[in-house]
Chains A and B, each alone.
Chain A
């Protein structure tokens, strides 16, 4: 239960950063916090307290942790890294045109 509560708290923290912060770079950090919350949560809820899953053939293992969540999270981290790298590139590009990283210059949320 504590895992879910911590996940929701961190996730909403990231969402708050995206909604409220007046800097695009801080919004990207908020996106990363949201991603991090999901990664943490998924690893935590699938942890069975077993041993780490690459097992030697001589070892007899009864209590293994599921390796799939770790594989999924690894892929998720790669996706998150490329997303934020590209977003930061775009923000640098925008900064060349307008000299600011304020999200309000994007025309607000409803306008366009």
Chain B
């Protein structure tokens, strides 16, 4: 497949524009902070506009990768420069380019120190993130995965708060710890594929064609799980997140919450499900349990916070629990909802960090008790906060509802108790978010320092408007977004189910110890994906399995 009707290597451009921008910013003559900011903004905006070409030329009727570019890179080991997108990665790329523009804008006056280096870091970060979302070669993916880490390390470590060194070290070591296991997993797959087919390659599109033995799948799943779950972060690997958020400058938090966390959930969808379908199905109960714990536990922790950034950080743990539950419902609605919720969380939580940053810049505190009554002095701020909070709560009419609903629809089909427990997160979400609203913007102005606070300026207004527009757009008319992902999701579900069925059938032939129905529901007969739903045939892809069986 070539780049389709696009002959411009648009994905490569998307990666290298910010990289080139970073070099230019870094080489600017020193003195004056205006120029690096302006250049960085121009580059980010250009990249954003460039990314808008993707949905334009995207064919949503096929699940195949599009805008594919393939160049030999290290032919000796079978590593290629192989990039391409499907609907899921497309959405995340758009999110990345948008969040980067917002990240540059929100650092405009907040960062005064070493602006050149800072802006360069943000642009490198963007390149790394886009690279992660387009890589279809595991080595390339790993490379970008690690590249993204370094600028964030510096952003927190140099421009961060008081405990920045602790936070940045924790963030870095934790992620690296996970990625080591991920690398082992990648190598295991590489050798397995080589020994099974004689072809040694890191090409995802080729690796995915093989159905690996169940034992290997499980081990690789665990290795990947460590790498990705830390990034998500899933309970109990989440404690790096509040520290990193609290110490990071606003743009760092916005990018971290907006995009970086999605790399984990994205990777689960991109690698675990299609490459390790049987292991994924076998691990469903455990992942769902962790996801539900994350939802409730994260919400409870958010409820106990006094620091705004910590509150939002723990709410992320809760929201990403939702995403994980949706993904591991392994059906159309769950995964569609999970993908949409990744975008939603990026928008809403990114915006919440922006809001916290806006008042932090004015008051240099993030404690809720230092505020109160801001609706009187900053009415515009209060309006934005209200809208964004209700998006985060998942009110119908906002994007949050569509995502959460689809996730619940999917999870309900996979496991009723999980759906019921996850839905309690919706109640708790309202509790901690409205508590925050009440303490920050409602009530009387209690601190004289707050009486003279200035409302949003044009730049701040501009960072929030696109997010609010998207919140309502996706809430009222999500079809264009869902349309992008649904074909890919349908194919993914089908792949998982049919590969799993095939593997189980083979196992049964050789071992002959399990009835077909038990095999289908779970290799160990413990999961609930298919119990008591005789009529699920027309949904998802159970049909395929039935035919094969």
| Co-assembled chains A and B | no
Residues of A within 8 A of B (CB): none
